[in-house]
Structure 1
Amino acid sequence: MPADTVSVTGWGRTAPTAARLIRPRTYEEAAAAVRECGARGGIPRGLGRAYGDAAQNAGGAVIDMTALDRVHAIDVDGGTVLCDAGVSLHRLMQVLLPLGWFVPVTPGTRQVTVGGAIGADIHGKNHHVSGAFSRHVLSLELLTADGEIRTVSPGTPLFDATAGGMGLTGVILTATLRLLPVETSLMSVDTERASDLDDLMDRLTATDHLYRYSVAWIDLLARGGATGRAVLTRGDHAPLDALRAGTRARRDPLAFRPARLPSPPALFPEGLLSRRTVGLFNEFWYRKAPRARTGELQRISTFFHPLDGIPHWNRVYGRGGFVQYQFVVSHGQEDALRRIVRRISEHRCPSFLAVLKRFGDADPGWLSFPVPGWTLALDIPANLPGLGALLDELDEEVAAVGGRVYLAKDSRLRPELLAAMYPRVADFRALRAETDPRGVFTSDLSRRLAL
Structure 2
Amino acid sequence: MTVEDHESWGRLDNRVRPAILPDDYEDRLGNLEANGYLPFGNGRSYGDSCHNDQGMLIESRRHARILAFDPGTGMMTCEAGVTLREVLERAIEHRFFLPVTPGTAFVTVGGALANDVHGKNHHARGTFGNHVTSFTLLRSSGERLTCSPAENPDLYAATIGGMGLTGLILKVDLRLMKVPSPHVQQHAIRFENLDQYFALVDRVDEEHEYSVAWIDQLATGSRTGRGILLAGDHADGSCELPDIPKGMKLSVPLAPPFNLLNRATLKAFNEYYFRKVQPGETVSTVPWTSYFYPLDAIGAWNRLYGPRGLYQHQSVYPSERAPEITAKLMETARRAGHASFLTVLKRFGDISSRGLLSFPRPGFTLTLDFANQGERTVKLLDALDRIVIEAGGAVNPYKDARMSPQVFEKSFVSWRRLEALRDPALVSNFWKRTALALPE
List per-residue Cα deviations over 1:304-344 (Å, max 9, x = no partner).
00111111111101100000110000221222233222222
The equivalent residue for 1:399 is 389
The equivalent residue for 1:266 is 254
Inter-partner Cα distance in structure 2 for 1:34 and 1:290: 60
C-alpha RMSD of matched pairs (Å): 1.9
Q: Which one of the candidate residues 64, 67, 70 is aligned to 1:72?
A: 67
Inter-partner Cα distance in structure 2 for 1:178 and 1:61: 32
The equivalent residue for 2:229 is 232
List per-residue Cα deviations over 1:236-261 (Å, max 9, x = no partner).
111113x3xxxxx3xxx264336732
2:99 maps to 1:104: yes
Identify if the C-alpha distance between structure 1 residues 232 and 35 changes in structure 2 by more than 3 Å, giving closer, same or farther: farther
The equivalent residue for 1:445 is 430
2:415 maps to 1:430: no
Identify if the C-alpha distance between structure 1 residues 259 and 216 changes in structure 2 by more than 3 Å, giving closer, same or farther: farther
List per-residue Cα deviations over 1:361-412 (Å, max 9, x = no partner).
2313121000011001121001166221121121122112221111111100
- CA apart distance, 1:5: 8.5
2:331 maps to 1:339: no
**Residues 161 and 358 in structure 2, CA contact (< 8 A), matched pair in contact too:** yes
* Partner secondary structure for residue 299 of structure 2: coil
**Residues 220 and 349 in structure 1, CA contact (< 8 A), matched pair in contact too:** no
**Residues 104 and 179 in structure 1, CA contact (< 8 A), matched pair in contact too:** yes
Task: Tell me the matched-pair count.
Answer: 431
- CA apart distance, 1:360: 0.9
2:171 maps to 1:160: no
* One-letter amino acid matched to 2:237: L
Inter-partner Cα distance in structure 2 for 1:258 and 1:290: 32
2:45 maps to 1:45: no
The equivalent residue for 1:134 is 129
Query: Percent of counterpart pairs with the same letter?
Result: 39
**Residues 259 and 371 in structure 2, CA contact (< 8 A), matched pair in contact too:** no
**Residues 127 and 353 in structure 2, CA contact (< 8 A), matched pair in contact too:** yes
Greater mean alpha carbon deviation, residues 119-128 or residues 414-423: 414-423
The equivalent residue for 2:292 is 304
Write out aligned runs for 1:27-426 (5 A).
28-32=23-27, 38=33, 40-154=35-149, 156-241=153-238, 243=239, 249=240, 253=241, 255-257=243-245, 260-334=248-322, 335-361=324-350, 362-383=352-373, 386-426=376-416
- CA apart distance, 1:33: 5.2
**Residues 242 and 287 in structure 2, CA contact (< 8 A), matched pair in contact too:** no
Inter-partner Cα distance in structure 2 for 1:333 and 1:114: 34
* One-letter amino acid matched to 1:265: P
Inter-partner Cα distance in structure 2 for 1:301 and 1:287: 23
List per-residue Cα deviations over 1:136-163 (Å, max 9, x = no partner).
0000000112121100003611111111
List per-residue Cα deviations over 1:98-128 (Å, max 9, x = no partner).
0111111110000011000000000000111
**Residues 137 and 144 in structure 2, CA contact (< 8 A), matched pair in contact too:** yes
- CA apart distance, 1:288: 1.2
**Residues 325 and 379 in structure 1, CA contact (< 8 A), matched pair in contact too:** yes
Identify if the C-alpha distance between structure 1 residues 5 and 387 changes in structure 2 by more than 3 Å, giving closer, same or farther: closer
**Residues 32 and 140 in structure 2, CA contact (< 8 A), matched pair in contact too:** no
Inter-partner Cα distance in structure 1 for 2:2 and 2:139: 24
**Residues 68 and 86 in structure 1, CA contact (< 8 A), matched pair in contact too:** yes
* One-letter amino acid matched to 1:157: D
* One-letter amino acid matched to 2:9: W
**Residues 349 and 380 in structure 1, CA contact (< 8 A), matched pair in contact too:** yes
**Residues 219 and 230 in structure 1, CA contact (< 8 A), matched pair in contact too:** yes
- CA apart distance, 1:19: 3.0
The equivalent residue for 1:13 is 11
* Partner secondary structure for residue 367 of structure 1: coil
Inter-partner Cα distance in structure 2 for 1:295 and 1:110: 25
* One-letter amino acid matched to 1:61: M
TM-score by length of 1: 0.91
**Residues 6 and 21 in structure 1, CA contact (< 8 A), matched pair in contact too:** no
* One-letter amino acid matched to 1:419: E
* One-letter amino acid matched to 1:165: G
Inter-partner Cα distance in structure 2 for 1:431 and 1:44: 16
* Partner secondary structure for residue 399 of structure 2: coil
Inter-partner Cα distance in structure 2 for 1:90 and 1:449: 32
* Partner secondary structure for residue 236 of structure 1: strand
* One-letter amino acid matched to 1:449: T
Structure 1 unpaired stretches of 5+: 244-248
The equivalent residue for 1:246 is none
**Residues 17 and 58 in structure 1, CA contact (< 8 A), matched pair in contact too:** no
**Residues 145 and 440 in structure 1, CA contact (< 8 A), matched pair in contact too:** yes
**Residues 17 and 56 in structure 1, CA contact (< 8 A), matched pair in contact too:** no
**Residues 17 and 57 in structure 1, CA contact (< 8 A), matched pair in contact too:** no
- CA apart distance, 1:40: 4.6
* One-letter amino acid matched to 1:355: V
